[in-house]
Amino acid sequence: MRCLAGQDQWRQAGSGALPVAAHGVSKAALAGTPPVVADAARAADAGPRPRGEDAGLRSTGNEAGLCPLGNEAAPRSLDDEAGLRPRAGPPDEGAVLGWAELGRLMPMFLALGPAGEILATGPTLRRLLGEPPPGARFEDLFLPSRSGPGTREGGMGWLAEAKPRRLELVLAGAMPTRLRAHAVPARFALGPGWLLNLGFGLAVAEAVAGHALTDADFAPTDPTVDMLYLLEAKSAVAAELRGLALRLDSAHRAALARSLADPLTGLGNRRAFEMAFDEAIRRARRNEDAFALAHLDLDHFKQVNDAEGHAAGDRLLVAVAEILREEIRARDQAARIGGDEFVLLLRGGLGPAEAVAICERIIARIVALGETQPEGRRVSGSFGIALSRDRAPGELGGMADAADRALYASKAAGRGVVTLAAPLARDGRGEG
């Protein structure tokens, strides 16, 4: 007996008819249908079959109207060439499935004729291909993958080999999609051909996104949907971990910034100054950038603080910090290192005249803050400056002490003064 691909009918031939008990259809229902092979009818008239073959269609792995190829040896297992190897004994009708039923089991199936002509496709494959035009052939819609088997002879040499094989393919078209396929020889109602079951393999996530597939496009037993759920959960967890890492990094940066800032003025604190000073020394020793270090101490600040209170003193410190921000350049750095003391790191290889001019402008603006105060509480400022160009590389670490000594020289000179530290000779002498 042969079965009809895409039809749920059996045909009658000769003097016999299909057994009603075996197939659940009446002889009257078969009357008038075209003839089928005589051996099927004779087998039907032969009476009951041996136990194990009665009252039903034998499921041998034959799908979509696939029939056995002959009457040779029976397959040793259901996995042996998908049950399509010929069986011994009387003719066996196998299982009868229309394309629709096969599509529900194998949504990505592809049935080919012996020359590669497309006979039928599964519903999910049709979503990818569209409805193949009449006369469409396998090679019109699929390209062989360079990395996979089945690429010799234009990728179609396997049609001449009557044995199962695996293929690596690329779906041609506007959205190329990599596919895997298992091809087995089959016999359809129209004759021999090939049955392919296709899948996406590792490219399933891209295929689902690119072709807008859903779980309805996969067989119920296909683990692809479960894998996609796992991938989605993994992506969600990974995104949450990335977000957490970014939040932790942001919190770390914010905490570090707070640890390096003076809480009152917003300028850098002593720790920030020491870090910047060490980096400036390293760059100067590599002859990358000379710098100047200016140490500022406010004059008469204690009197203002004592007479008007700490709140007034704090307001004065904030105002001085704003002056420093406005007078220095973007590459420079200002810090409050304690009480009414500030330091400036002036980068860019300033000469002594340029460094002194910056400090004098700052003093003039500080003095303007206290013009309305009584004589004893008119705040001012004194500077001591040390230049890296005046020191050997090994002596740069002493610049802070040199600037401090120059500051006290300014205090001794009457306050509101800028003093440059004396250059230090290469032998370490020069500052007294």
Question: Which structure tokens are listed for 273?
Answer: 């100054």
CA 307 to chain centre: 63
* Residues 432, 421: Cα–Cα separation, whole Å: 10
Longest dimension (CA), the chain: 135
The residue behind tokens 């009658």 is 12
Q: Is 262 tagged catalytic?
A: no
Q: What is the DSSP secondary-structure string of 177-241?
A: EEEEEEEEEEEETTEEEEEEEEE-GGGHHHHHHHHT--GGGS-TT-THHHHHHHHHHHHHHHHHH
User: Phi first, then psi: what are they for 352, rounded to 5°?
Assistant: -60, -40
Residues 340, 390, 401, 404: which is the catalytic one? 340
User: For the stretch 174-195, what's the b/e string if a residue is b when 16 or more beta carbons lie within 10 angstroms of its beta carbon?
Assistant: eeebbbbbebbbbbbbeeebbb
* Residues 112, 132: Cα–Cα separation, whole Å: 12
Whether the CB-CB separation of 189 and 5 falls below 8 Å is answered with: yes
Taking CA 65 as the corner, what is the angle to CA 62 and CA 69, rounded to the nearest 5 degrees?
Answer: 60
Burial of 372 (0-12, 13-18, 19+ CB in 10 A): exposed
Query: DSSP code of 413?
Result: T
* Number of other residues whose CB lies within 10 A of the CB of residue 230: 11
* Residues 232, 364: Cα–Cα separation, whole Å: 65
Three-state SS string over 61-83 comes to CCCCCCCCCCCCCCCCCCCHHHH
Question: Which structure tokens are listed for 213?
Answer: 């597939």
Q: Is 418 helix (H, G, I), strand (E, B) or coil?
A: strand
What is the set of active-site residues? Answer: 340
